[in-house]
């Protein structure tokens, strides 16, 4: 039993020392062009999904109508388009970021399938170590819901709203 415990302890020590040496050697990916570490994406996505899941129950206090979409456009153009792009105009800055900000008006990257409460949570609280800021100090509750409603409906916006995004 003693030998087993010693082996177990030395095994863990070797793993921790190896990880420390890897980081100290300068080989850990820190530039935005470097790819993710093994399992990095899995752990980051799993942690985010688990933390955000309860927000799916949040109901928007505002209706999804043109007034609120236009309010969302004002918020989006000033605070988000820089990283998340506009319809048919992907952000150039996004290409230099890791993880890259999804282009929220590109049909393949939209968050139209996410409950609006999930998007509101991300806008309000941000996503640590990703470049996605928290907007609770910058935007009002109304503005955060308006931009969340806009993104939830990004694939079926009235043409006038879509035109205002450009
Ligand atoms: C400085 C760049 C930057 C700005 C400005 C920014 N974001 Fe983000 N955003 C990101 C990044 C990077 C991610 C990806 C995070 C990840 O992969 O976990 C992200 C993720 C998101 C997501 C989750 C997307 C998904 O697929 O689940 C939403 C929603 C979002 N942002 C909305 C917004 C809104 C709304 C604004 C403006 C109020 C905004 N962001 C401003 C960088 C930014």
pLDDT, tens only, 36-52: 988 999 999 999 999 99
Domain count, the chain: 2
All residues at 6 or more sequence positions from 65 whose CB lies less than 8 Å from its CB, including other chains: none
Same domain as 22, residue 57? no
**Ligand 1 centroid, distance to 104 Cα (angstroms):** 9
Question: Using the 8-state DSSP alphabet, how is residue 56 labeled?
Answer: G
Do 85 and 157 share a domain, yes or no?
A: yes
What number does the ligand 1 atom closest to the CA of 48 have? 18
Closest-lying ligand 1 atom to the alpha carbon of residue 139: 38
Say if residue 61 is in the same domain as residue 140. yes
Q: 152 CB less than 6 Å from ligand 1?
A: no
| Same domain, yes or no: 104 and 158 | yes
Question: Does pTM surpass 0.95?
Answer: no
Distance of CA 121 to the CA centre of its chain: 10
Which token pair is 137? 């100090």
Residue-wise pLDDT tens digits, 79-121: 999 999 999 999 999 999 999 999 999 999 999 999 999 999 9
Nearest CA to ligand 1 atom 10: 132
Torsion angles phi and psi, residue 86, rounded to 5: -120, 170
Ligand 1 contact, 119 CB (< 6 A)? yes
**DSSP assignment letter at 142:** H
CA of 99 to the centre of ligand 1 (A): 10
Are residues 128 and 160 both part of a single domain?
yes
Residues written for the chain: 166
Per-residue confidence (pLDDT) for residue 93, from 0 to 100: 97
pLDDT of residue 13: 95
Q: Are residues 89 and 158 in the same domain?
A: yes
Q: CB-based burial of residue 111 (10 Å sphere; 0-12 exposed, 13-18 middle, 19+ buried)?
A: middle
Q: Domain limits at 68?
A: 53-164
Is 46 a member of any domain? no
């Amino acid at each position: 039993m003693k030998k087993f415990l010693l082996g177990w302890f030395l095994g863990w020590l070797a793993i921790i020392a190896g990880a420390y040496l890897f980081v100290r050697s300068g080989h850990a990916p820190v530039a935005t062009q470097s790819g993710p570490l093994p399992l990095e994406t899995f752990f980051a996505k799993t942690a985010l999904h688990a933390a955000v899941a309860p927000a799916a129950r949040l109901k928007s206090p505002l209706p999804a109508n043109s007034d609120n979409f236009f309010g969302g456009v004002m918020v989006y153009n000033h605070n988000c388009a820089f990283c998340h792009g506009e319809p048919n105009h992907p952000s150039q800055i996004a290409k230099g970021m890791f993880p890259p900000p999804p282009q929220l008006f590109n049909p393949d990257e939209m968050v139209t399938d996410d409950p609006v409460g999930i998007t509101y949570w991300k806008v309000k609280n941000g996503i640590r170590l990703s470049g996605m800021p928290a907007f609770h100090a910058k935007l009002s509750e109304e503005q955060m819901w308006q931009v969340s409603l806009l993104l939830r409906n990004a694939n079926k916006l009235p043409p006038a709203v879509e035109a205002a995004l450009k």
